[in-house]
Amino acid sequence: MHDLSIDLETYSSVDIRKSGLYKYVQSPDFEILLFAYGVDGGEVKIVDLAAGEIIPRDICEALTHIDITKRAYNAAFEWYCLSKFLGLSDQRRNMWLRQWRCTMLHGMYLGYPGGLAAVGEALGIAEDKKKLSIGKALINYFCKPCKPSKANGYRTRNLPHHAPEKWELFKEYCRQDVVTEMTVENNLSWFPVPESVQHEWELDLRINSFGVKLDTELIEGALAVSEAITAELMSEAANITGLDNPKSVAQLKKWLEAETDSEIDNLSKETVSDMLKAGVPQPHVQRMLELRQDLSKSSVKKYTAMEKAICEDGRARGLIQFYGANRTGRWAGRLIQVQNLPRTYIENLSLARDYVKEKNIFMLKFTYGDVPDTLSQLIRTAFIPSEGNKFAVADFSAIEARVIAWLAGESWRQEVFATHGKIYEASASQMFHVPIERIKKGNPEYALRAKGKVAELALGYQGGTGALINMGALKMGLLEEELPEIVSAWRSANPRIKDLWQSLENTALEVVQNCTAAGTHGLYFSRECDPLNGIDFLVIQLPSGRKLYYPQPVIMENKFGRPAIHYMGVGDSGKWMQLSTYGGKLTENVVQAIARDCLAVTLHRLENAGYQTVMHIHDEAVVDCPAECADLDTLCNIMKQPMPWAPGLILNADGFIGDYYKKE
């Protein structure tokens, strides 16, 4: 025996979608109902644990045998569930992780969608090998609590004997999942996941399973304060408008149109903000728009998500999704969505936190004014270190700007990062031929910094005036007629980056058209194919050795009538569809992927140095360590260490030591 493929069906009263895998499994009523397995790609068998069947002895031995690989689709689930089933300690569980391989990761590494059914469709596997479509209804029936009613005898759970035919169907569904998983793994076997990415996946699960502590007192206070303030705001809004539900978009939109005698497209955050900035003649309408802003803040949703995710030990787990962005391999947020948290601008966060814990609405209003906004800014501070510890937080400085400068060989930018690091001022200096010494507060030339900043944020990936507008150029006070000049000036100041866009696009077109291989700017482009299974990729090998995969590449005209690379991928709608790319987008993929690899190396370095990372947000690592070990210089020095595969890439980092998480 070499490979053991596994699928489980389980029961828990915890909602896994809202609370996550770890709290789901830690529930006292968690149990494994079905255990399906296949050995070395052979016949799949099912063990009905709910009926008292026992896993065969040889399979039990194989589960922990060091030389037998355990495979599953989304293997983190099977690994954690079986860890509890086998009674493994935290240390043994983490050691056991080395024996697991995840077929979902395999598919996502190659650019395929995350769901088992979706990847099966994308690969075009045979009908008898596909995931059965009946699973959702059966999972809802057997794997979750049911609502008691007279018809079901007021039971709170459906057991196999309540629906024997459904149970037999559920067993077949579980068995078929292993068939599908093995088929997918077999189809992808020509394109293995590198050991380096496997090790990153293991580290990710160690971080996720350790979790991060949450301030339950702050969360409880925030929810109570929010409920009281929302009631006040709703009462005021109802008095102003006379509406039954002032939060209703349809009702409020109709009221606003009548009061302002104008047509309103929508009530999005941006629209309401623009209306307030433009000014509304009627004071009561102005006030209602302000109330709309306050009532729309998502702070309560975040606190509620935290409350649902907290495990019994006060920690939230599983907040980071490995390879969540499968085009670049970057991580994504889950449950609380830590990669999408409001920044903290208010002064004296500690005082605000104390008032919220005390549910002191009067002092919150008196000191900070806007209570919903204050609650929103305190979301980050709900993440706290373990008892007696501190957070040491370090963030890569301008990582994407540094990577693109290094990749393109833009020497003046490299010089900036090797010295003062003021890229916005330096960019403005290069764009408008003004000495950088003049671009400082108090001088008229300081106004150029805003143009340099928005250009840096918007134009690195071949963006134009539209990208500047999307990045907020007009809201910064720039005029639309100024924007073409900013685009032209930035591109003139960065000729090597312009060359990088064109070079990546031309190389990709050449490789796809001629089925050849070529290198440029330290990247290696090639085609990788498996004719037997009809799989074909455009591949970009990064300096780290990791690869980016673009399935089923073809050259077709894009919407501008130019030949362009098209490939199959997951679109913004979440559907598997044909997508188009170009030089700037390829540059964005590569730069973000290299930045991601820098973080991956750094997370390993932090672990090897004895630090416990509890979460990471974009290009920032959050370490939970004893107060005496919370040395920011040491942490930043680890992050600034050169990458072994990127000579000349200049990295820098900054951060803070604190009793809670924040972001200014």
Q: What is the distance between the alpha carbons of residues 19 and 655, in angstroms, rounded to a whole number?
A: 30
Q: What does the DSSP 8-state code read for residue 146?
A: -
Is the pLDDT confidence value at 299 over 80?
Answer: no
Tell me the pLDDT of the chain averaged across its residues: 95
| Spatial contact of 471 and 490, defined as CB atoms under 8 Å apart | no
Here the tokens at position 571 are 């679109």
Higher pLDDT, 539 or 559: 539
| Spatial contact of 7 and 174, defined as CB atoms under 8 Å apart | yes
For a pLDDT cut of 90, what percent of the chain falls above it? 86
Residue 275, pLDDT score: 86
Here the tokens at position 7 are 């699928």
Mean per-residue pLDDT, 425-429:
94
Is the pLDDT confidence value at 476 over 90?
Answer: no
Residue 642, pLDDT score: 97
Mean per-residue pLDDT, 439-454:
92
Burial (Cβ within 10 Å: 0-12, 13-18, ≥19) of residue 113: buried
Q: Compute CA distances 157 → 51, 89, 161, 644, whole Å.
A: 16, 30, 11, 55
Give the pLDDT band (50/70/90) at residue 159: very high
Find the range with the poorest average confidence among 309-323, 437-451, 503-517, 636-650: 437-451
Secondary structure element (H or E) that encloses residue 364, with its range:
helix 361-368
Give the pLDDT band (50/70/90) at residue 198: very high
**pLDDT one-digit tens code per residue, 489-522:** 999 999 999 999 999 999 999 999 999 999 999 9
Give the pLDDT band (50/70/90) at residue 218: very high
Is the pLDDT confidence value at 281 over 90?
Answer: no
**pLDDT one-digit tens code per residue, 57-74:** 999 999 999 999 999 999
For a pLDDT cut of 70, what percent of the chain falls above it? 100
Give the pLDDT band (50/70/90) at residue 176: very high
3-189 is classed CATH 3.40.720.10: no
Q: What is the distance between the alpha carbons of residues 422 and 441, in angstroms, rounded to a whole number?
A: 14
Residue 161, pLDDT score: 96
| Spatial contact of 159 and 49, defined as CB atoms under 8 Å apart | no
Residue 261, pLDDT score: 85
Q: What is the distance between the alpha carbons of residues 92 and 109, in angstroms, rounded to a whole number?
A: 27
Burial (Cβ within 10 Å: 0-12, 13-18, ≥19) of residue 258: exposed
Q: Compute CA distances 234 → 229, 230, 292, 366, 638, whole Å.
A: 8, 6, 9, 20, 50
Is the pLDDT confidence value at 263 over 90?
Answer: no
Three-state SS letters, 402-421: HHHHHHHCCHHHHHHHHCCC
Mean per-residue pLDDT, 563-570:
96
Residue 273, pLDDT score: 87
- SS3 state at 644: coil
Is the pLDDT confidence value at 76 over 90?
Answer: yes
Is the pLDDT confidence value at 165 over 80?
Answer: yes
H-helix segments, 37-163? 57-63, 75-86, 90-96, 103-109, 116-123, 135-142
Q: What is the distance between the alpha carbons of residues 398 and 238, in angstroms, rounded to a whole number?
A: 46
Q: What is the distance between the alpha carbons of residues 14 and 30, in angstroms, rounded to a whole number?
A: 9
| Spatial contact of 541 and 526, defined as CB atoms under 8 Å apart | yes
Q: Any residues with CB less than 8 A from the CB of 472 and at least 6 apart, and which? A: 454
Here the tokens at position 247 are 């939060």
Residue 141, pLDDT score: 97
- The residue extents of the domains of the chain are 3-189, 216-383, 385-399+536-664, 411-493
| Spatial contact of 429 and 415, defined as CB atoms under 8 Å apart | no
Secondary structure element (H or E) that encloses residue 256, with its range:
helix 249-260
Nearest to 399 by CA among 80, 610, 654, 221: 654
**pLDDT one-digit tens code per residue, 448-473:** 999 999 999 999 999 999 999 999 89
Q: What is the distance between the alpha carbons of residues 196 and 541, in angstroms, rounded to a whole number?
A: 14
Q: What is the distance between the alpha carbons of residues 11 and 34, in angstroms, rounded to a whole number?
A: 10
Residue 293, pLDDT score: 86
Mean per-residue pLDDT, 23-43:
97
Burial (Cβ within 10 Å: 0-12, 13-18, ≥19) of residue 145: middle
Give the pLDDT band (50/70/90) at residue 298: low
What pTM was computed for the model? Answer: 0.93
| Spatial contact of 607 and 613, defined as CB atoms under 8 Å apart | yes
Residue 411, pLDDT score: 95
CA trace torsion 140, 159, 181, 62 (10° rounding): 140
Integer-rounded Cα radius of gyration of the chain: 27
Q: Which fold has domain 385-399+536-664?
A: Alpha-Beta Plaits (3.30.70)
Q: What is the distance between the alpha carbons of residues 364 and 372, in angstroms, rounded to a whole number?
A: 10
Residue 297, pLDDT score: 73
In degrees, to the nearest 5, what angle opens at C-alpha 626 toward C-alphas 621 and 627? 95
Residue carrying structure tokens 């090897």? 608
